[in-house]
Structures are given as C-alpha cells and as structure tokens.
Structure 1
Amino acid sequence: MPFLTPTVPQVDPAEFLTRPRQERIRFLATFWAENGFGTQKMVHTIYIVKLLVLYIGGGVALATLTSDVGGPLEVSQWWDQPIIYQKFVLWTLFLELFGIGGTWGPLAAHFKPMTGGIAYWARPNTIRLPPWPGKVPFTAGDNRSVFDVVLYLATLGSFLLAASSGGTTLGGFGVDMVDPALMALSAGLLVLCGLRDKILFLASRGEQYLPILLISALAGEVLTFVDFIVAAKLIIVTIWVGAAVSKMNHHFLNVIPPMVSNAPFVPKALKRAHYRSLPEDLLPSRLAWFMAHVLGTTAELAVPLVLLLSTNWTITLLAVGSMVLFHLFITQTFPLAVPLEWNINFSFITIFLFAGHFAGDGYAVTDFSEGWMLPVFVAALVFFPVLGNLRPDLVSFLPSMRQYAGNWASATWAFAPGAEAKLNQIPGGALNQIDQLVDGMGFDPAAAEMTMQMTLSWRSMHSQGRGLFSVLQNYLGDEYEGYSLREAEFCCNKVIGWNFGDGHLHDDQLIEAIQKRVGFAPGEFVVVWVESQPIHKPTQEYFVMDAALGIVERGSWLVTDCVKEQPWLPNGPVPTDVTWRHPQHHPAHALGAASPTATA
C-alpha cells in the first residue's frame, strides 16, 4: 500500500454505481477482505504521531513535571507511582472529552475537519441527548444551552487542573497522590455532564474512568493505600472480564476478519487466511475462530483472573506481558473507532498495578482493610455489565463492558434522492461525510459515494448488517435500489460530533431531534435500527422508523440466521419476525412521496 496514495477498488466509480446494490456490497466486501478501507499509510502515520507525541509525550511531561517523581526520562523513578497513574487517567479523560482521543480523524469518518468533539460540545444549539430526560430533573430537551457549554468546558478544565496540580501526601499513604478534592470535583462535573448529555459521558469513557476518579476521591479518608490499589485492580479486571464474557456469542467471530483486514501492516496472505475461501466465501475461517475464541475471548477472561489472583512473581510477569501484547495488538489494527489512547493507557495501567504492586507483596484482593469492601466493590462494578447483558435496551454497550464484542446496537439510514443534504441544516462542526469528501477533500462525487458505500460493506461483514439490509429490502421493496444508504455510526458523527459504535447514540431519540430541526417529508429519511442481543435470548429486536412518521414497524431476527449468511445475502433477506406494523404508514414507498430513482 503506497504511503501517500490510498488503495482503491479497481473499477470505474460511475459504472460501479449502476450495479445492483447487493452486487456492490459483495464487490466492496471482497475488496475489504484484502485491503480494509484502503487508507494510505500517511493517515496511519498521523495517528501514530498523535499517539506518541501528544498522548504519550504530552502525558508523561505533564504528569512528571508537575509531580515530585523525577523527570520525563527517569522512567524507573515514576512508572510505579500512583500519582502518575492518576494523572494519566486525567490526561486521557481530557483528550477523550476534548475530541482528539478515540473516534478522531478520517478512520472514524471525520474527514474534514478531523475533530468533532469540542467543535460541537462547546457550541450552543447543537444536539444533546440526555439519558433520562423524563426522570432526572432539569435534563429534558435536546438543545445544548449556554449552561451546557459552560458545564462542558468546566469539566475539561477540572481534568487539566487535577492533572497539573502538585501532589499531596495523604495520611498513612507515604506517597504523593492527586488531591482527593480535585478528583471529587472532576467526578462530580463529569456526572453532571452525563446527566445533561449522555454523549459526553460516553465520549470521555466515563464508565471506565469515573470509578477511578471516585476511588481517588475516597483515598485517605475511606480507603487506605492498599485499598486504593486493590480497588483499582478490580476496576480494570472487571472491564477485561466483562468484555470477555460479552464475546461469548455468535457475533464476535465475524468481528475478527474485517478488523484484521483493516490493519495496515498485516500481510495480505494473513488477511486472506481469516476467510474460508476468497472471493466465494467470506465467512470466518478456522484461523479466525482461533484468534477470536482462544487468543481473544479465552485470553481476555483467563489472564486478568491470573493477574488478580496470582502470588507467583514469574506467572504475574508473564500475565502482565500477555495483556500488554493484547492491547498493542488491538492498537496496531487501527479499529474504526480508533481507541488508540485507551489501549496504550490500559497497557500502562497493567504494568503499574500488577507489576508495580504485586499481589504477593500485600496487594491481593484479600488485603482490603475491611472485609465488607470486596463484595461491595465487586457488586458495584458488575451491576451495569450484568444489567446491560440482560437488558441491553437499558444500558449502552460501553457501561455494559461489551467493547468490540460484535454484539452491537446498530442502524442503517436510507435517504430518498436529495434528502441527505438536508442534514447540513443541523448546527454542528461539519458537513455530511459525502460533502466533506467532495467539497472539503476534492473527491469526484462518484468516488466519494463509492467510498461511503465501503462502510456498508464493512457493516455487511458483521452479523447485524445482514439483518439490517434484509429489513431494508423487505420494507423498501422495489425502492431499495433507489435510496442512498448510509452507515449510521458514521452519519452520527456529523450530527452529534462523536460515536463509538454505540447505536444508543443514534436511536429514535436522535432521529426525533433531527426531525425537529430538518422536517423530512414522509419517505425521505428511513432508519432501520437493531438492539444488541440479550445474553439469554437467541434474537435481536429491530424497528423501522420514518423520521416524519415515527416508528412504523417492529420485529426480530434469529442471530444464527445472520451469521451463516454471506455479506451480500445471496439467498435473499434473512427471515424476520414482524411483530407490529403501523396500521396507517406501511410501507414507505406506498406513501405517495416522490419515487426515488437514483442508484447511489
């Protein structure tokens, strides 16, 4: 793959767009299997420089130069200091909430500009999505106010204030820590931000870092130093184990091949080996199964438990190395949400907690100062993962600790000709992705359209994509070829400034907010949305929503029917069980709206 030039499908884009949609999906899915997005390596280099210079270099400088632990290059003096651990978490929180951590840049469909985040969240009148608007006082509405902007900026400032503050020695600790009051301030402001707008809480990765802020706020008064370290170990182990348990499903096997295919430095032969038989059969191979369920699920479950329980130094070091390699592997694949900082931070946390504070030296889970602490901490940490696996409709997949498990709430947006441009009426920091490519980066319109359809092929390689396209075919009927289809995860970035593969950020709540601002006509904007699969059920539940009419259909499909089909559905749509249809508004193409004729 050339450094400056992307690898693109060898086809004339204009001719390509005249082909039937499922044929296009097959062509692009096959291309993806060997080339991923085809992004030029210059783009990956930008991410690597951001990671090394801004995140690691900036974070080390900030943490060490504001703490009495030695200079940035004196690693041996600070790598096991708790204040450095705290400040790296704060620095990560700041970058994530600013919008230059995960879900940044062209790999996350922020083409031009490359930063969403602050360009939306520091601007009044952009869309916000409160998690419980009918239950939490003073959170109703979907319009960002001046108060929301001030609260957001204050939260960012609190992270920087705590990260740049000098350390304080707490009673009985013997080491410097960030002032618990500053950590409490950061935690409180983050919670307030999240109650006003769930986007901000999720974008900060609050489900993982808020517990660290809270135990830091309790340090000295409630928690001894040993309590603090053991609680921090329980937090990261819960994240790992929760992710591993969530990957025990039919979806995860389909995640590995397209992820490896998008890794820029993996040889093509190894990419092909993750599929049964290219180009005829794109289902996962035995190698993909081994990568998913042995090096993935099993390792992510077993190794963290070894880290938590082992009092053997050699075994602990081997386990530390294994988890660091695990996160470095994910980093080098450049997954589409691009959580590079998160993976590097977790690599450091692994070393700090388990090598720097070895269980055999008095930092085991049995070393809490009070016996009640262990069950209370465990119960608090597993509450949302348990609830989210049983009732995914109630909990985002991030607090559910279901990161990259393939079992995602997802959606596909369908626009009648010309309707997509109306999204540009929504206040925000960027145009639609198609317009970013054409107007901002000089793409030919046909080439830009083919680029955006690449994301549809990526979705089709995952189980829920086959269900989404099946429902769209059934619902739109003869009009299926005429609508412009878009991957909702990427479109969501334009509307709210951030997404992490979480369909709860672009469900009916967002569509209603969009409709209030745009006013689509019936049939112009149709959404098929699917919830994650509950851990105890074999189905996923979906709905069809016309932005102008509301939800017009509900139903479900069997996950096993989706995972066994090829991405392009050669046998036709997978079976669906329609449980409800709106008596007046079904289907969309019979509503009398102008019939779409474009082939995009």
Structure 2
Amino acid sequence: MPFLTPDAPPVDPAELLARPRQERIRFLATFWTEYGFGTPKMVHTIYIVKLLVLHIGGGIALATLTSGVGGPLDVGQWWDQPVIYQKLVLWTLFLELFGIGGTWGPLAAHFKPMTGGIAYWARPDTIRLPPWPGKVPFTAGDNRSVLDVLLYLATLASFLVAAVAGSSTTIDGLGGVEMVDPRLMAVSAALLVLCGLRDKILFLAARGEQYLPILLISSLAGSVLTFVDFVVAAKLVIVIVWVGAAISKMNAHFENVVPPMVSNAPFAPRLVKRAHYRSLPDDLRPSRFAWFMAHVLGTTAELVVPLVLLLSTSWTITLLAVGSMVLFHLFITQTFPLAVPLEWNILFAYITVFLFAGHFAGDGYGVGDFSQPWMLPVFVAALVFFPVLGNLRPDLVSFLPSMRQYAGNWASATWAFAPGAEAKLNQLRKPAKNQIDQLVEGMGYPADVAEMTLQMTLGWRSMHSQGRGLFSVMQDYLGEEYETYSLREAEFCCNSVIGWNFGDGHLHDDQLIEAIQRRIGFAPGEFVVVWVESQPIHKKTQAYFVMDAALGIVERGTWLVSDCVKEQPWLPNGPIPTTVTWRHPQHRRVLGVTA
C-alpha cells in the first residue's frame, strides 16, 4: 500500500454506485477482506505518533516529573510505583474525555476536523443524552447548557489537578507509599459521575466503566483500604474487565468480528487476511482458522490467563501470563480497530506489568492477603453488577459497562435518508458537517469517491452478524424504494452529531433520533432508522425496531442470530426471516406503500 495514497476499490466509483445496492455491498465487502478500509499508512503513522508522543511520552513525563520516583528515563525506578499507575490512568482519562484518545481521527469518521470531543462538549446548545432523564432529578432534557459545559471543563481540570498537584503525597496508614492524594481522586470520581448523569456520552467517552473503579479505590487508600488492599482491588478491576469481555465473546457473533478486524490491520500480510475467510471471493464467512483465533487465542486466553494472573503464586507462570496479556493488547493495538482504542490497550498492557509483575501475589499481594475478607465479595459484587445485568438485559446497560467491548454483540443501526434529506443534519448545532460533506468540502474528494468511501462502511457492517439483519429489515421496510435511499452506518453519523461513538448503539437509539427531530423536523419518510439491540446472553434472538424520525417507532420485531451468521454479507438468498411483534396501528409500510 502506498504511504500517502489509499488503496481504492478497483472500479470506477460512478459505475459502482449505479449497481444494485446488495451487489455494491458484495463488491465492497470482498474488497475489505484483503484491504480493509484501504486507509493510507500515513494515517496509521499519525495515530502511532499520537500514541507514542502524546499518550506514552506525555504521560510518562507528567507522571515522573511531578513525582519523586526518578526521571522519565529511569524506568527501573518508577515502573512499579503506584503513583505512576494512578497518574497514567488520570492522563488517559484526560485524553479520552478531551476527545483525543479513542474515537479520534479519520479511522473513527472524524475526517475534518479530526477531533470531536471538546469541540462539542464545551459548546452550549449541542445535544446531550442523559442516561435516566425521567428518574434522576435535574437531568431531563437534551440541550447542553452553560452549566453542563462548566461541569465538563471542571471534570477535565480535576484529572490534571489530581495528576500534578496531587503528587508526592505520602498516604497515612500505607507505610510511606507515595500515592496521589485520595481527596483529589474522590473529587475526580464525583465529577465524572455527575457528568455521566447529565450526559452518558461523557461518561462513556471517558471510559468511566474502566477507570471510575480505579478512582474510587484510590480515594479509599489509606483510610478504608491498606496498600495491599488497594493493589488486590486494582487486580480485581482489571481481571473482571478481561473475564467479562471473554464471557461476552462466547457467542455466535464474535468469530464474525475477527476477520474484518484483521483485514483492516495495515501491517498484516494478505495471506493471513485471506486465511480468515472460508473461500474468497465466494464465501466470506469465517474460516476454521478465524474460529481458532476468536475462541482459542481470543476468548479462552482472555478468560484463563487473567485468572492465572490473579491466583498464581509461581513467578515463572506469572511472568508467562503477564507476557501473554501484554501481547494480547499489543495485537489489538496493531489492528487499528475502527473505534481506535489504542490508548486504552497500551495502558492496560502497562497495568498488567505493574500489578502482576510489580506486585506479585507470592509476595503478599494475592486475594488471600486482603485485610478485611468480608469486603472482598462486596467489592466483586459491585464490579460484576453491571456486566451481569447488561448481558441479561442489554436494553438497560450500555455494552461498555456490560464489558462486551469488541465482542461483536452490539446494539447497531443503519440510517436511511430520502434524496436530499441527509443535508438537513447540517442544520444541527455542531462543529463538524456530515461525513459526506467533510470528504467533499474538507478533503477535496469528488462526490462519487466520497460516496463510495462512506459505502465502504456498509460493506464492513454487512460482514458482522447484525449488519445482515439490519439490511434485511431495511429492504423489507423500504421495499421498492430501497435503492433510492442513501444508507449510512449509524456509528459514523453519530460521530458527526454528538462528537463521539464507540460502536454503542445506545448513543444513537430513539433518544438521539427524537432529539434530532425536535431540532430539524424531518417530513415522514425522509429519515428512517433500523435499530437492533444486543443479544441477551440467554436468548437466541435480537430485538429490532424501525423508526421514522417524523412518526416515531413504527415496527418492532426479532430475528434469529443463527439466521444472520449463516448468511453471506450480501444476502444472496434475500432478507433473513424476521418476526414482526408489533406495528403502529396507523402506519404500515410494506414494499414502498404507506397504508
């Protein structure tokens, strides 16, 4: 692949766009198998530089230069120090909530400008999405106020203050161990929770489900928790993240995730990419090799190795397990997954080394060394509450607190616009235009090239199980007009509307569509959404709805996951079967006819 130019599908864009939609999806999905998005390596280089200079270099410099544990190059003096661990978490929190961590740049559909985040969340009158507006007092509404902006900025500032001003603090009761002032960690935790209650976008963007427990146990260090307790609690946090993710990947979706993810890895040989599919170009379903990568090197390793780390008192076994999890996170990093969670993976690789090699269980940092055994089950129960609830009732919990990150079992959606209707989204108060306009006006793409680029994401979505269901329902609903609408990947559209997304359909469900409709007022039929919830762990189906922005939800139903995973991305046998459980009594649209 040339360094400065993308790998483009070998077809005239105008000719491709004239083909029937499912034929286009087949062509683009087949192209994806070997080239991914076709992104030039220059873009990946930008991400690598950002990771090395801003996250790793900046984080180490900030953490070490504001602590009495040696300089940035004195790795042997600071790598196992708890204050460094805390400050790197705080620095990562800051980058994520600022908007220059995950879901940044062109790989996350931020083409120009590349940063969403603060450009949206420090701007009054942009859209916010409270998680429980009818239940939590003072959180109703979807308009970002000046107070929301100030709360957001205060939360950002609290992370930096805790990382810098809160350094070099010797915690009473910890035997002289240097840690960040617990009071400042408590302030950061409280502000993050308040931000999240006003706007779930901010809590999820900060990866609060990962880092809030660390802030909380840090705020209890020296008072409720001894240093050993703190380390053991921190171990439990990361182990539950790993194990929760592993359990959530024990499904029929995950093996469909690995092939397109590896195909998008810029440095993976084409031979390895092709090996993940049964028989290119005719059968794009996962191969046995993909199954092995997903469920042996992926799921099994992510389940077994963390438990070994938590329980092992053998130094050799612990080191091997530490190396395995570091390689696990480095592998994910080099694939550049579309949400681009590079900082998170690098931080977790470091945390693995810090916690399990730096504080070996055999040296008195095992779960049996917790000073107050009665607290251990309470702490574990608190950590697993949302993962358990989210897997049983995914409609109640985002897939991130459910610990289903990159498990393939996502709430997802496809947006469909009648001719000319998509441009109305630019009426929203937001710093970035729609992606099609970013590519044409900001990047100088010809209109047909820009359209083909965005339709690459439809090919990508079709390679995942829920994509086949979404396109099936959309075909059934739009009927003869299926070819005339512009289809968009909702995750990408969501980025331009609210400034962030991590593959979480709960950020672009009916709550967001209603907020958009209140501001724009689409006419009936102009903006149609097919949305699907994650699969509950104990069911074989996924529940979907069809929503017309002007009319509300007009249809609900389910499909069998098994029907999705056995079909090809382009649905050669037609739409998969669905069971309609409800239709709006005054609105039914079949084969393009409204009755």
Q: Secondary structure of the residue that 2:429 maps to in structure 1? A: coil
CA shift, 1:551, in A, is 0.1
Q: Would the aligned equivalents of 1:522 and 1:591 in 2 still touch at CA under 8 Å?
A: no
Per-residue CA shift, 1:498-519, capped at 9, x if unaligned? 0000000000000000000110
Aligned to 1:466: 468
Pairing 1:590–2:564 present:
no
Aligned to 1:164: 164
Equivalents in 1 of 2:315, 2:306: separation in Å? 15
Pairing 1:127–2:130 present:
no
Q: Secondary structure of the residue that 2:470 maps to in structure 1? A: helix
Aligned to 1:581: 583
Q: What are the residue-to-residue correspondences of 1:323-334 with 2, within 5 Å?
A: 323-334=325-336
Equivalents in 2 of 1:55, 1:3: separation in Å? 24
Q: Would the aligned equivalents of 2:173 and 2:223 in 1 still touch at CA under 8 Å?
A: no
Q: Would the aligned equivalents of 1:523 and 1:591 in 2 still touch at CA under 8 Å?
A: no
CA shift, 1:315, in A, is 0.1
Structure 1 window deviating more from structure 2 (583-592 vs 323-332): it is: 583-592
Equivalents in 2 of 1:168, 1:289: separation in Å? 49
CA shift, 1:452, in A, is 0.2
Aligned to 1:518: 520
Q: Secondary structure of the residue that 2:133 maps to in structure 1? A: coil
Pairing 1:98–2:98 present:
yes
- What is the root-mean-square deviation in Å for CA atoms of aligned residues? 0.7
Equivalents in 2 of 1:34, 1:453: separation in Å? 17
Q: What are the residue-to-residue correspondences of 1:62-101 with 2, within 5 Å?
A: 62-101=62-101
Q: Secondary structure of the residue that 1:112 maps to in structure 2? A: coil
Aligned to 2:8: 8
Aligned to 1:238: 240
CA shift, 1:429, in A, is 1.5
Aligned to 1:597: none
Equivalents in 1 of 2:11, 2:401: separation in Å? 42
Aligned to 2:569: 567
Pairing 1:143–2:143 present:
yes
Equivalents in 2 of 1:73, 1:323: separation in Å? 24
Pairing 1:38–2:38 present:
yes
**Structure 2 letter corresponding to 1:316:** T
Equivalents in 1 of 2:325, 2:424: separation in Å? 46
Equivalents in 1 of 2:392, 2:316: separation in Å? 38
Aligned to 1:477: 479
Q: Would the aligned equivalents of 1:386 and 1:400 in 2 still touch at CA under 8 Å?
A: yes
Equivalents in 1 of 2:9, 2:372: separation in Å? 62
Q: Secondary structure of the residue that 1:243 maps to in structure 2? A: helix
Equivalents in 1 of 2:431, 2:292: separation in Å? 42
CA shift, 1:172, in A, is 2.8
Equivalents in 2 of 1:5, 1:182: separation in Å? 47
**Structure 2 letter corresponding to 1:167:** S
CA shift, 1:591, in A, is 4.2
Aligned to 2:203: 201
Q: Would the aligned equivalents of 1:533 and 1:540 in 2 still touch at CA under 8 Å?
A: yes
Per-residue CA shift, 1:418-451, capped at 9, x if unaligned? 0000000011120000000000000000000000
Pairing 1:214–2:216 present:
yes
Q: Secondary structure of the residue that 2:483 maps to in structure 1? A: coil
**Structure 2 letter corresponding to 1:128:** R
Pairing 1:447–2:460 present:
no
**Structure 1 letter corresponding to 2:27:** F
2:287 to 278, 285, 300: 285
Q: Would the aligned equivalents of 2:392 and 2:538 in 1 still touch at CA under 8 Å?
A: yes
User: How many residues are paired up?
Assistant: 592
Gaps of 5+ in 1: 593-600
Aligned to 2:112: 112
**Structure 1 letter corresponding to 2:141:** G
2:317 to 310, 315, 318: 315
Equivalents in 1 of 2:102, 2:230: separation in Å? 27
**Structure 2 letter corresponding to 1:177:** M
Q: What are the residue-to-residue correspondences of 1:188-587 with 2, within 5 Å?
A: 188-587=190-589
Equivalents in 2 of 1:528, 1:5: separation in Å? 34
**Structure 1 letter corresponding to 2:99:** G
Aligned to 1:57: 57
Q: Would the aligned equivalents of 1:252 and 1:406 in 2 still touch at CA under 8 Å?
A: yes
Q: Secondary structure of the residue that 1:384 maps to in structure 2? A: helix
Equivalents in 2 of 1:333, 1:167: separation in Å? 38
Q: Secondary structure of the residue that 1:480 maps to in structure 2? A: helix
Aligned to 1:596: none
**Structure 2 letter corresponding to 1:58:** G
CA shift, 1:374, in A, is 1.1
Equivalents in 1 of 2:106, 2:554: separation in Å? 34
Equivalents in 2 of 1:136, 1:280: separation in Å? 52
Per-residue CA shift, 1:232-265, capped at 9, x if unaligned? 0000000000000000000000000000000000
Equivalents in 2 of 1:270, 1:2: separation in Å? 20
Q: Would the aligned equivalents of 1:97 and 1:117 in 2 still touch at CA under 8 Å?
A: yes
Aligned to 1:595: none
CA shift, 1:590, in A, is 2.9
**Structure 2 letter corresponding to 1:223:** L
Percent of pairs with identical residues: 84
Per-residue CA shift, 1:50-107, capped at 9, x if unaligned? 0000000000000000000000000000000000000000000000000000000000
Q: Would the aligned equivalents of 2:36 and 2:264 in 1 still touch at CA under 8 Å?
A: yes
Equivalents in 2 of 1:158, 1:579: separation in Å? 48
CA shift, 1:268, in A, is 0.6
CA shift, 1:167, in A, is 2.0
**Structure 2 letter corresponding to 1:139:** T
